[in-house]
Amino acid sequence: MTSRTSPFYVYTLPETLLSSLEPISFESAGSTSTPGTTDYLEQPTPTNLTPASDPLPDSSESTRGSGPQCNTCNYSATSTDEQREHYKSDYHKFNVKRKVLGLPAVGLAMFETMLDELEESISGSDSSDSESDPPSDSTTDKVSNLLAKTTLDTIQEHGDDGAMPVRSPFHIFQSSLLPPDDVLAIYSTLFPVPENSTPQDVIRSRQLPPNVQTQDASTPVSAIFMLGGGHFAGAIISHALKPRNKADPVEFVEHKTFHRYTTRRKQGGAQSASDNAHGKAHSAGSNLRRYNEAALEKEVRELLEQWKSYIDRAEHIFVRANGRQNRKILVGYDGAVIGSRDKRVKGIPFSTRRATGSEVKRVWLELTRPKIMKKDGFAPPKSIPKPKETVSSAPSKEPEPAKELSPGELHTSQIVAFVKKSRTNPLTTYLESNRLSPDFRFEPVEQYHHTPTALHLAASLSLARMVGFLVVTLGANPTLRNDEGRTAWELSGDRATRDAFRLARADLGEQKWSWTESGVNSALTKADIVARDAREKETAVRERAEAVKRLERSRVTASQNAATIGGRKLASSVVTSVGQEQQLLSGLTPEARMRIERERRARAVEARLRAQRQRE
């Protein structure tokens, strides 16, 4: 639904417009309306507030900006991080669950009010709402309890059909000065209607006299306080606008903004909430955030004490505090300037951004500008949908029965699992209990054509221990070939697996199997493996030593050339020595090059120490 801002201010409406206003209501068939009140259907906050001409600034600014949008809550974020935090919030989860039940979304101010009422109904008194009570750490329980309460209230009040006329945040008027399809909407939170009265009478009584002074003590004022994420913004605002100042008409009697680092970036949530949920952390950042939370609370409350005279005479006190802890900093603490039962305390009936001075000013302008909306935007009330039985015209398909495995396939699945996990004892027990050969052929054959036996499978997976166990202990035949004509030896993926075959050949002897047919190399004992590894280690050490010597010789040659040759030949000799050094190291692995470099540095240190001793 589109809307636009009218070129008026709610406290200085023209007499012609006031006289033409007629309150209207949009009622469901089963609902009744009492005189002086308006029962409206759910009306979303205006999303397009661009007037043809508006004397007030920022009139084109919408409650939904150009940032990431949440269509469920009618919320606009200023950044992607803020959008993520919104999706994690109780407010968004609550509106998502209402949407599933067919209920309209609620504004953030209404959600906070409902949450406070739920907490008060659970506690039963203000005394239990103290700083010593730990906040609930179950977001799901909080949202579910609130949703269950609102749904139950809806059913009890409106019957099983669930029809629920939801109060709009506006007083809606029609006027002869407007087109027939347009209505004028004014936020009802500014003009609460008492019994035996009408909205237009209340609005008329709140009109300011002409030539009123903005700083006059008799001029009505309102207070706005916003707190969240360590950001605070507060102001005492005069109801009278600045004369002849269309660029900045809002008159701040008092205003203050400050910020404390209380929330870890990209994590969200206050440090105190994290301590209550996960225990007290002892990092430097957490200690700093705890200190800043205490300092922020102290500064805010000291400011409220300084503004007590203005707060006491304020007509409205608008509070936007994210979370219960932030709200208790402003309202309802021991000796609070603003009591928890103060009827002047209200939420802001639309989405807001970060708490700043400009945002406070925008909130006040948005509250005090009448909106011109289309009458057809007020739709019939929604009702809680009842579950419907889906009747499908197509015949229902019965689930196909699971394919039964053959005994061979069952044995295959068990043996494969034992081999892959190298579970030797369970494999032995399974083969013996089922009287199976260690050369059992896997089924289905087309699936296991590459690894038809347990030995082939273990060799292809480079399971050296399992290969030795199968050949030596269980007696698996290493000469068997797969459908590709390859033995298990030929499927071996690493040296350790091939060594396992050669060790088995040494243990079983040459007469056990036709080792030549299996392709296994000559027999190898454990002593032979140890001796081979030692020889390879010595060779590697010798090669490293020779490489270091060659490197040292190249450096000595380069230094001699640098001492005897001047001019451009010096650079060419250095380049040549560097090239020779790179050529010497190019054939080595990175680990070998690192070891050579460490040895070179160690020798350089020893040389410096020897030179120092000689000088002494």
Q: What is the mean pLDDT of each run of 10 residues along the chain (616 residues)?
A: 68 87 62 38 36 39 58 78 83 84 76 64 39 42 64 45 54 86 87 83 86 77 90 91 78 90 69 65 80 90 92 91 83 87 88 89 90 68 46 56 78 91 90 91 89 92 92 92 91 90 91 89 90 90 86 78 52 51 69 82 86 80
Q: How far is CA 36 from CA 153, 190, 381, 530, in A?
A: 24, 16, 21, 101
Query: Distance (Å, rounded) from C-alpha 45 to C-alpha 52?
Result: 19
Q: What is the CATH number of the domain that holds 519?
A: 1.25.40.20
Query: By residue range, what is the domain housing residue 605?
Result: 552-615
State whether 71 and 11 are in the same domain.
Answer: yes
Q: Output the pLDDT for position 163.
A: 38
Residue-level pLDDT at 101:
75
367 within domain boundaries: yes
From CA 32, how far away is CA 573, in angstroms rounded? 102
* Domain match, 562 and 464 both: no
Helix (H) or strand (E) holding 530: helix 526-564
Do 16 and 154 lie in one domain? The reply is: yes
Q: Which sequence positions are flagged as catalytic?
A: 271
Residue whose pair of structure tokens reads 């020893």 in the numeric block: 606
Same domain flag for 26 and 127: yes
Q: Indicate if 445 and 513 belong to the same structural domain.
A: yes
Same domain, 498 and 568: no
Tokens coding 128: 């239990």
Is 529 among the domain residues? no
- Give the pLDDT of residue 613: 81
- Given 505, 524, 543, the domain boundary residue is 524
Same domain, 451 and 513: yes
Q: Choose one of 357, 377, 397: the last residue of a domain.
A: 377
CA distances for 301 relative to 185, 260, 330, 337, 348, angstroms: 35, 14, 7, 8, 21
111 part of a folded domain: yes
Q: Are 432 and 514 in the same domain?
A: yes
Query: In 3-state terms, the chain is what percent helix, strand and coil (to 5)?
Result: 45, 10, 45
Count how many domains the chain has.
Answer: 3
353 and 246, same domain (yes or no): yes
Q: Please, are residues 193 and 204 in contact by the beta-carbon 8 Å criterion?
A: no
Residue 179 resides in a domain? yes
Task: Indicate if 561 and 516 belong to the same structural domain.
Answer: no
- For residue 152, being part of any structural domain is answered with yes
541 in a structural domain: no
Amino acid type, 479: T
Check residue 160 and give its pLDDT: 41
Q: Which residues contact 547 (CB under 8 A, 6 or more apart)?
A: 584, 585, 588, 592, 596
Same domain, 476 and 608: no
Both tokens assigned to 335: 């000796």
- Residues 48 and 2 sit within 8 Å (Cβ to Cβ): yes
DSSP state letters, 492-507: --SHHHHHHHHHHHHH
Per-residue model confidence (pLDDT) at position 454: 93
Considering the domain architecture, whether residues 153 and 302 belong to the same structural domain is answered as yes
Q: Assess if residue 335 is contained within a domain.
A: yes
The answer to whether position 539 is within a domain reads no
